[in-house]
Homo-oligomer: A and B are copies of this chain.
Amino acid sequence: MREGTGERIFIKLGGSLITDKRRERRARLRVIRRLAEEIREALGERPGLRILVGHGSGSFGHAAAARTRIYEGISRPEDWWGFAEVALAAAELHMHVRRAFHAAGLPTLSIPPSAVAEAAGGIPIAFEARAFQRAWEVGLIPLTGGDVVFDRERGATILSTEAVFDALLEVLRPTRILLVGEVAGVLADGPEGHQVIPHLTPARFREILHAVGGSHGIDVTGGMRAKLEMALRWVERDPRLEVWIFSGRRPGALRDALRDPLRIQGTRITWA
Binding site for B on A (CB under 8 A): 74, 77, 80-81, 83-85, 87-88, 91-92, 95, 98-99, 102, 107-112, 114-116, 118, 126, 128, 130-131, 134, 138-140, 150, 155
If A80-B107, A84-B109, A110-B112 are given as contacts, then 20 extra A-B residue pairs at C-beta distance below 8 Å, sorted by A number, are A80-B138, A80-B139, A81-B107, A83-B107, A84-B102, A85-B107, A88-B98, A88-B99, A88-B102, A91-B95, A91-B110, A109-B114, A111-B115, A112-B112, A114-B131, A115-B115, A115-B116, A115-B131, A116-B131, A128-B130
Copies in the complex: 2
Please, which residues of chain B bring their CB within 8 A of the CB of A80? 107, 138-140
Contact residues of A: prevailing secondary structure: helix
Q: List 27 A-B contacts (CB under 8 A).
A: A74-B138, A80-B107, A83-B107, A84-B107, A84-B108, A85-B102, A85-B107, A88-B98, A88-B102, A88-B108, A91-B95, A91-B110, A95-B95, A109-B114, A110-B114, A110-B115, A111-B114, A111-B115, A112-B115, A115-B116, A115-B131, A116-B116, A116-B131, A118-B134, A128-B128, A128-B130, A131-B150
Whether B87 pairs with A109 at a CB distance below 8 angstroms is yes
B98 touches A118 (CB 8 A): no
